[in-house]
Chains A and B, each alone.
Chain A
Amino acid sequence: MTKTFRMNEAQPRLLDETGQGIVGAPLDRPEGPKKVSGRAHYAADGLPEGAAQGVLVRATIARGRITGIDEDSVSGLEGVIGVFHGPEFLRNPAQGMAGEAPVQPGGEVHYHGQPIALVVAESFEAARDAAQRLVVTYEAEAGVVTDPARSEELEQDDPETAGDFEAAFAAAEVTLDRSYTTPAQAAAAMEPHAALAEWEGDELTLRGALQMLRFNKEELADSLGIPAEKVRILAPYVGGGFGSKLGIGPEAVAAALASRTLGRPVRVVMTRQTVFDAVLRRTETSQRLRLGADRDGRLRALSHDDRVSNIQGEGFAEPVSQASQFLYGAEGLSFAQTLARVSRTPAGSVRAPGEAVGMLALEQAMDELAEMLEMCPVALRLKNLPEKNPMTGQPFSATRLGDCLREGAERFGWDARKPMGSRREGEWYVGMGMASAARSNMLVKSAARVRLSGEGAVVETDMTDIGTGTYAILGQIAAEMLGLPVEKVEVRLGDTSFPGASGSGGSFGANSAGSATFLAAKAIRETLAGRMGCGLSELTLQEGIARGGNREVPLAELIEEELVEEASVEAGDTSESHFSSGFGAHFAEVAVHAYTGEVRVRRMLGVMAMGRILNEKTARSQALGGMIWGLGAALTEEMAHDPRTGHVVSRDLANYHVPAHADVPGDMTVVFLEERDDMANPIQTKGIGELGISGAGAAILNAVRNACGARVYDMPATPDRVIAAMEAAGF
């Protein structure tokens, strides 16, 4: 029977008592050797006997109606089996945690690149050829709006406010009013989206590249109009997600539909170009920051307005000002968002939605304010640390932002920062910059099962490991709790026949699935304590030995038949009473070529307090990865849309520039400050990966300004933009 636990109050820090030293240790990922030797099977690896292959066909108009799909145009081609299309086909992937079929426009086309049909053939090559040749006729609409700046279909909620922003801004001694833009971005996971569907009677098994199986199962069943019990999804390994695999995508539904009709397995792997066309992108943003402060640096007024875009019918709007709402606070706060409707690839959650782009603007504006006040940027932030969430009044569950800022400045050698433009090494200007980091933290309903036998333990949950280290940390939690070496714990993930977890998203997977694993293991400890005849608090389990009630017994002797416990966790009162967020500080040193405007990041430091660290190595990798994405957002990443059709022009990884190795400095340091977030969840953790991104890009851009005077308002800071800004600054 599943025990459900609601997080209503702080819990004892049991993982600090168990004393095995496994939780937190920088252990290797257990599945690592399989991955590097090609034995970890991803969704598209392996093709069952008799499987056919499908390739998605895209719409080549921006908006309108399909008047005909001429199946005869390809039916004679060798190897072609059939063309599938119809109202069930997905236009939009599901948004994260939707748990139901995504909105669809029926036979309409709403963006150029929209999947409209699937061609199935005996080989991938034949299917791709046929997909290319398939003749589709349209009735195109005229005057389609693809540019958010020109959209007249705008949705605007009342601004979220606290205090009176206008009055506080008018009264402030120093004010700043700046606008920034960020481009659309792609999640750019290495593994393309893929699905392999196979039916047995009315039951579907789908191997997919998906992040949140508990929700995905519901989404897929709803899309196909069948009960969720009839769907099993397997995703034991996922090659990166970054938000793009939160919800099911067109490949999954198309594969399932074709497979049902054909009575044979069908595999659909998106080509890289289709991944760019049809997977949720991050919206471009345009942002306006208004800051008002006293001469001594105390913020009086803060407003962060933004415009984002999405396709018609999609509810998601990037929460751009999320961190601005709680990071500093002021007497007057105001946040207004405008959602512009456009015919472009639908937008959704991509790596730290909100903070990743919002903090680029907020933390550059803070840097500009520090400059106006002739104040140290670190000192300005230290002056404005709020005691409570300024919008909601909730106390923070745990915050060490001040410590991160001070410790970071110390370790980085911030003292050595020179006045703007005054440090030159050969042809290069050199400068330093910093920014705060914040990313709100969540606990999402999750269940896990733990089995303990004389042989060892097994953890089972439908949680995914998208390259982040879930296999490692769940094994560590169970081992720590059950007094076993980690090798004695097997972790089974990515199968909807296991208890349903949060999935990987919003950096809440470790908190949520980790807590469920912890609670299931704790229930087993209770049984063992009973068998030892001692209280739970007296029981110690270490290295396979149980001690308690003055007895010492090998664990195996306490277990006659397998002990099985399932536990479920969900957010409770503490999520109302307290506000939980990860905090940190990013520091960067950059060199800017005085002539060509090229920026090279020389070193980066991130000091972060993110609750209990479950595995020092995987946590560090997460934080580093986040910082590299921050670098990408600041300097290289930009999805280009065609001004006429709105379609994505940079449709492969040669044209969409994620940072390459040479962009990433050798000196990348991450420091974790010791922290326990008692209000967050029973294991006192916080999310990690996305905090690494939040603010990191701004630290780099602030360093560019310090180096050479260039303040780049339109990201990314490519050489041409740096040159223009340098010239504008008189350098």
Chain B
Amino acid sequence: MRDFEYSRAETLSGAAGQIGEGASVVAGGTNLLDLMKIQVMSPARLVDISRIGELQGISDDGEGLRIGALATNSELAADGRIRSGWPLLSRAILAGASAQIRNKATTGGNLLQRTRCPYFYDTAMACNKRSPGEGCAAQEGVGRMLAIFGTSEHCLAAHPSDMAVALTALRAEVEIRSKEGETRRLPVTELYRLPGDRPDLETVLAPGEIITAVRLPAPMAETRQVYSKVRDRASYAFALVSVAAVVQMDGDRIGSASLAFGGVAPRPWTDPEVDQALVGAAPGDEAFGNAADVLVAQAQCHPDTEFKKPLLRRTLIAALREATGLAETATGASTARIPA
């Protein structure tokens, strides 16, 4: 690990003053410190934002919930309002990491965690994301965790967050504050850039901008929400594929669907055509399979990720079966209990 300077910010404006060239903010540190130890990231200065009061807490602002960037993953998953109004979020968070990590991990840090591509973690291997222009060792390497949508010839890495997938299906927004103190809001999906020829640039955040909050819009009445995550062991593993589904029924047909997919793209993946294909459909494996085919048709696979096509297709069907009540399982769908 390289030496670095450390400073703690007590306020947002204080933090803005400390963030400069070569600095990185640190929140829970569960991702950044790991990367610093193996010198994949070596910021010259760490600005610790973890004590800033303005970034804490979860509040109801009338339009929905405002989640402070420092709200921990555990806090969020356990929050009674979230469990009843946005149960998908709670489930997605609990499907990730471990209890110990979730206790430290923050909302902002979770959104900005780096990929788990093993070549990114290995400084002896070429990686455009780590060192732009160096090449991409994953192309002809081992690639079980790589993405199948939104990749480029320069980078095939997937975004690992589960929480971000749920937030995307819930149409959440991130609130961003610039160094100068201006605030803007973006849908979660628009926070991320696709790799193109600069996989090192992962988000649209300008230098010095930090995430201050995530905003959840008021929930739609009577939606069924499901998070299905398939991984290589029952817990404590990143998604091979995951599906976040928010489904509203209209009688015995699907009224609307908002889907997002994890483990398959450099950002939480969405496909409006898939959502659209489900509207008006009678729940059943055939209709779900047709929608899944629309999605999977777009996939571009590394030899090691060919399996993600059938797996994603099947996981989407399974999630929709739960979301439309065709299947009850142990982890079952959760109905958002919101007064209509």
Contact = CB atoms under 8 A, between A and B. Distances in A.
Given A427-B321, A720-B240, A595 B314 contact: yes
Contacts of B37: 128
Interface in B127-159: 137, 140-142, 144
Interface in B77-110: none
Interface in A444-480: none
Given A643-B140, A660-B233, A662-B234, A132 B321 contact: no
Given A636-B232, A718-B232, A597 B314 contact: yes
A643 B234 contact: no
B228 interface: yes
A730 interface: no
A128 B1 contact: yes
A215 B228 CA distance: 51
A427 B141 contact: no
| B122, B232, B308, most chain A CB atoms within 10 A | B232
B206 interface: no
| B121, B314, B327, most chain A CB atoms within 10 A | B314
Interface residues of A, number: 43
B315 interface: yes
Contact of B235 (A132, A427, A650, A663): A663
A49 B228 CA distance: 53
Contacts of B35: none
A642 B117 CA distance: 13
Contacts of A600: 234
A659 B318 CA distance: 24
Given A427-B329, A593-B318, A598-B230, A651 B118 contact: yes
Contact of B38 (A60, A273, A598, A727): A273
Contacts of A428: 329
B316 to A, nearest CB: 9
Nearest to A124: B1
A642 B142 contact: yes
B123 A649 contact: no
Given A129-B2, A649-B142, A724-B307, A427 B318 contact: yes
Contact of B318 (A60, A595, A641, A720): A595
Interface string A263-288: 00000000101000000000000000
A618 B147 CA distance: 45
A657 B141 contact: no
| B118, B123, B233, B310, most chain A CB atoms within 10 A | B233
Contact of B141 (A593, A644, A659): A644
A426 B329 contact: yes
A649 B234 contact: no
Given A598-B230, A657-B233, A640 B123 contact: no
Interface in B276-304: none
Chain B interface: which size bin?
35 or more
A649 B240 CA distance: 17
A34 interface: no
Tell me what chain B mostly uses at the interface: helix, strand, loop, or mixed: loop
| B116, B119, B230, B321, most chain A CB atoms within 10 A | B230
B236 interface: yes
Given A427-B327, A596-B318, A657 B232 contact: yes
Nearest to B144: A640
Interface string A696-731: 000000000000000000000011100110010000
Interface string A633-648: 0011000111110000
Nearest to B328: A426
Contacts of A273: 38, 122
Given A129-B2, A643-B141, A636 B233 contact: yes
A36 interface: no
Nearest to B38: A273
A644 B327 contact: no
A551 interface: no
Contact of A663 (B228, B234, B308, B314): B234
Nearest to B122: A651
A662 B235 contact: yes
B33 interface: no
Interface in B228-246: 228, 230, 232-238, 240
Contacts of A723: 307, 310-311, 314
B216 interface: no
B39 to A, nearest CB: 5
B230 to A, nearest CB: 5
A655 interface: yes
B140 A644 contact: yes
A718 B230 CA distance: 10
B236 A660 contact: yes
Given A427-B327, A640-B142, A659-B233, A720 B307 contact: yes
A285 B67 CA distance: 50
B124 interface: yes
B317 interface: yes
Given A596-B318, A719-B311, A724-B307, A132 B328 contact: no
B315 A596 contact: yes
A654 interface: yes
A43 to B, nearest CB: 20
Contact of A125 (B1, B116, B232, B307): B1
A653 to B, nearest CB: 9
Given A426-B328, A427-B321, A660-B235, A596 B230 contact: yes
Given A661-B235, A718-B232, A641 B315 contact: no
A469 to B, nearest CB: 27
| B142, B315, B321, most chain A CB atoms within 10 A | B142
4 interchain residue pairs of minimum CB distance = A662-B235, A720-B307, A595-B318, A662-B234
Interface of B: 1-3, 37-39, 116, 118-119, 121-124, 137, 140-142, 144, 228, 230, 232-238, 240, 307-308, 310-311, 314-315, 317-318, 321, 327-329
Given A644-B141, A720-B307, 8 more contacts: A597-B314, A600-B234, A636-B232, A642-B137, A660-B235, A662-B233, A663-B234, A723-B307
Interface of A: 58, 60, 78, 125, 128-129, 132, 271, 273, 426-428, 593, 595-598, 600, 635-636, 640-644, 649-652, 654-655, 657, 659-663, 718-720, 723-724, 727
9 contacts: A426-B329, A427-B327, A428-B329, A596-B228, A597-B230, A636-B233, A657-B232, A723-B307, A723-B311
